[in-house]
Every structure is written in structure tokens, then in C-alpha cells.
């Protein structure tokens, strides 16, 4: 019964929290509406998302969020410095192919988003079989180091979280 009511408890919780943030108040009527949304949306969208992955290591999720936030700040400063001070001829843009060990679609999506948000890299395409991701680097004198960095910093943690 509980399982049918909450097919994705985490999704329901996220929806409730999002709605409460949207209305920006914790009044009884907004909580009631938030719970209604939290029940209805997962039930309606369930057929489209049959095997939603569960998060295995909640603590690693928290750690991942902070690592990414730190990297975003660092990325902003790095990119700003490159834009302002690096002469064009010293710029070394590069395409990098990052082979993936993670296989869950959701994990790959999170990884691609993270890559785009962090130091001088944008994820551009996925291999046909989903086993590699194409990344463009703004300034990468050493493309292999970028690849290893992505694998060690993000992919390892995502693998722990999703698989």
C-alpha cells in the first residue's frame, strides 16, 4: 500500500520541498498542496520512469554536492582569469574523450551536467553505446590530466552513489 502510494519516496520529498520553496512559506495550506503534488506527480509520471535508481550512499551525495560547489567557484575564477589575462595564442582548447565506467543513465546525466558546470570543460556528446563522453576544454595543455581528474573527482563518487 505504502509502496503504491509512494512509488518514489525521494521524488515525492523533493517535490514537497521544491513547492514549499516556491511559495516561500510554511503555512498549512501550502503544505497540504505540496503533499498533493508530491503524491500526484510521481504517480502520473511513473510509466515514463520505470526503473528509477535509488541513491545508495546519501553521505556521498552531500560530499559530492560540496565538491561540485567548490569546483564551480574555482571554475568561475579560473575562467575569468583566462578570459581577462590569457593571450589568445597561449590558449589551448582541446577535445577530450572520457571513457565511462558508470552505466546508469541518471548517473551519466549528472556527470555531464557537472562537467559543464566545472573548470573550463563542457560536455558535448555521448558515444553511441554510452560508454564514453566527449568533452571540450577551454584550456588544456594536458588533456589526459583533465580526463583523469574527471574520473577521479566525479565519476568515482557517482559510481558509489548510483551503482
Partner 1 sequence: MTDLPFWAEIAVSVFLVIAGVFGLVGSYGLIRLPDPMTRLHAPTKATTLGVGGVLIASMIFVFATEGRVSLHELLIALFLFLSSPITALFIAKVHLHLREDQSTLPQPSDGLGWAGYTVETPARGVRESLDESDDAESR
Between 5 and 49, name the residue whose CB sits nearer to partner 1. 49
Site for partner 1 in 72-131 (CB under 8 A): 72-73, 75-77, 79-80, 83-84, 88, 91, 93, 95-97, 99, 112-113, 115-117, 120, 122-131
Between 2 and 87, name the residue whose CB sits nearer to partner 1. 87
Task: Report d(CA 42, CA 52) in Å as an integer.
Answer: 11
Short-list 110, 106, 115, CA closest to 136: 115
Short-list 48, 18, 55, CA closest to 33: 18
Could you say which of 136, 151, 153, 156 contacts partner 1 (CB under 8 A)? 136
3 state SS of 57? coil
Which helix (H) or strand (E) segment holds residue 135: the answer is strand 132-137
Between 59 and 83, name the residue whose CB sits nearer to partner 1. 83
Between 35 and 124, name the residue whose CB sits nearer to partner 1. 124
51 and 25 Cβ atoms separated by less than 8 Å: no
**DSSP 8-state secondary structure symbol assigned to residue 138:** S
The residue ranges that bind partner 1 (CB under 8 A) are 18, 21-22, 24, 72-73, 75-77, 79-80, 83-84, 88, 91, 93, 95-97, 99, 112-113, 115-117, 120, 122-132, 134, 136, 138
Amino acid at each position: 500500500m505504502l509502496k503504491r502510494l509512494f512509488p518514489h519516496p525521494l521524488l515525492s520529498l523533493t517535490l514537497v520541498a521544491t513547492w514549499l520553496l516556491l511559495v516561500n512559506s510554511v503555512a498549512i495550506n501550502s503544505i497540504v498542496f505540496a503533499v498533493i503534488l508530491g503524491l500526484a506527480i510521481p504517480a502520473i509520471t511513473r510509466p515514463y520512469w520505470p526503473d528509477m535508481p535509488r541513491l545508495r550512499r546519501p553521505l556521498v551525495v552531500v560530499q559530492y554536492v560540496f565538491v561540485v560547489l567548490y569546483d564551480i567557484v574555482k571554475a568561475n575564477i579560473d575562467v575569468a582569469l583566462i578570459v581577462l589575462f590569457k593571450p589568445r595564442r597561449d590558449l589551448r582548447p582541446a577535445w577530450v574523450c572520457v571513457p565511462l565506467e558508470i552505466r546508469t543513465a541518471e548517473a551519466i546525466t549528472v556527470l555531464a551536467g557537472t562537467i559543464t558546470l566545472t573548470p573550463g570543460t563542457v560536455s558535448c556528446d555521448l558515444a553511441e553505446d554510452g560508454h564514453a563522453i566527449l568533452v571540450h576544454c577551454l584550456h588544456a595543455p594536458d588533456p589526459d590530466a583533465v580526463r583523469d581528474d574527471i574520473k577521479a573527482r566525479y565519476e568515482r563518487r557517482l559510481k558509489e552513489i548510483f551503482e
